[in-house]
Every structure is written in structure tokens, then in C-alpha cells.
Amino acid sequence: MKTRLITREGFNKLKAELDTLWREERPEVTKKVTWAASLGDRSENADYQYNKKRLREIDRRVRYLTKSLESLRIVDYSPQQDGKVFFGAWVEVENDDGEIKRFRIVGYDEIFGRKDYISIDSPMARALLKKEVGDAATVETPAGPALWYVNEISYPDA
């Protein structure tokens, strides 16, 4: 089950995507579909078929974004979070082998296209919540438990 949280930055990005799809892309693709349909035989018209498919993709994404934006809860930074890992934090962790990872803990809808973001629902994020610099977190992995130490915690709006 996904936690329905999102950072303000993530919410604004999704809202901008919805606006672009609805106000710019969809009207343009609709014009292309209308033009291609006016040419006659639609069964062999590649422009018509491609743009009709694109229109369905846009509509599907618009429905998803509209529904998501209504149900998401924005979590803003609070000074009370300083020094501990909470939603929206940038965290640097290190294991006993010296492997270092740096990522931001965000909502599920924000992780796509970003290798440096992890979902609040991930085992790593769950293990790190409320930890402080120097604390150890045991993360359950398919290969067994893994131990990570918190090196650094920061918040983008701090």
C-alpha cells in the first residue's frame, strides 16, 4: 500500500505536468486527430492511429494525475525535523564496506525518473525514520539484514 504523502516540490511538478498535458499537448493532438480523420480511410492512416493512441495515453495520465492530486497530502518542512530523518530529508548512509548512498525520502509519485529519490514506503526509508547522525539502521533485504549508518541529514527548505 502506498503512503499518500508528497513534498510541495513534487506536488507542484505533478500539477505542472497535468496543466501542460491538458492545456498544451491534448489540444494539439486533438487537432492532429481531426485533421487525419478528415483525410478519409482511417484504417490505413498512420497519423490518425498514432495520434489517437497518444490521445488515449494523455487522457489516461490526466485521469491518474487528477485523481492523485486530490488524494495526496503535502508535507512541508518543519524546523522540528532538524537532526532526525523524516519525510523529505536528504540522507547519506554508509555500510561496513564503505559503500555510501545519498538519497531523498519522498512520496511514491515522486520517485519516477529520479535515481536519487526513494519512496517513504521502501524498506530503507522505513528503517531510517527518526534516526539521527551516527545511528545505525537495520534494513531487511532479500539477502538478509543489512546495517547502514547515518552520516548526514539535511532538508532542502532548511
| Nearest Cα residue to 12 out of 138, 135, 110 | 110
CATH code of residue 105 = 3.10.50.30
| Domain encompassing residue 64 | 5-74
Q: Residue 92 belongs to what H/E stretch?
A: strand 90-95
The per-residue pLDDT for 80 is 85
* pLDDT single digits (tens) 99-156: 999 999 999 999 998 999 999 999 999 999 999 999 999 999 898 999 999 999 999 8
Please state the domain count of the chain: 2
Amino acid, single-letter form, for residue 79: P
What percent of the chain has pLDDT above 70?
97
From 46, 74, 102, give the residue that closes a domain: 74
**Which bin fits 122, alpha (ψ -120 to 50), beta or left (φ > 0)?**
beta
Are 59 and 107 contained in the same domain? no
Mean pLDDT of the chain: 92
Residue-level length of the chain? 158
For 46-63, what is the mean pLDDT?
94
Judge whether 95 and 136 are in contact, CB under 8 Å. no
| Co-location of 88 and 36 in the same domain | no
pLDDT of 158 reads 53
DSSP class per residue in 59-125: HHHHHHHHHHHHH-EEE---GGGTTS--TT-EEEEEETT--EEEEEEE-GGG-TT-TTEEETTSHHH
Task: Indicate if 68 and 99 belong to the same structural domain.
Answer: no
pLDDT score recorded for residue 42: 77
Q: Which amino acid is at 19?
A: D
Would you place residue 41 in the very low, low, confident or very high pLDDT band (cuts 50, 70, 90)?
Answer: confident
One domain for residues 109 and 51: no
Residue 1, pLDDT score: 55
Quick check: 83 pLDDT over 60?
A: yes
- pLDDT tier at 79, thresholds 50, 70, 90: confident
Cα separations (Å) of 136 from 57, 106, 108, 132? 44, 21, 24, 9
Please state, in angstroms and rounded to a whole number, the distance separating the CA atoms of residues 94 and 101: 6
Closest CA to 5 of 124, 114, 105: 105
Torsion sign across C-alpha atoms 72, 77, 81, 87? positive
Query: Does 40 score more than 90 pLDDT?
Result: no
Average of per-residue pLDDT across 29-51: 86
pLDDT value of position 44: 79
102-117: per-residue pLDDT in tens? 999 999 999 998 999 9
Cβ contact 81:89 at 8 Å? yes
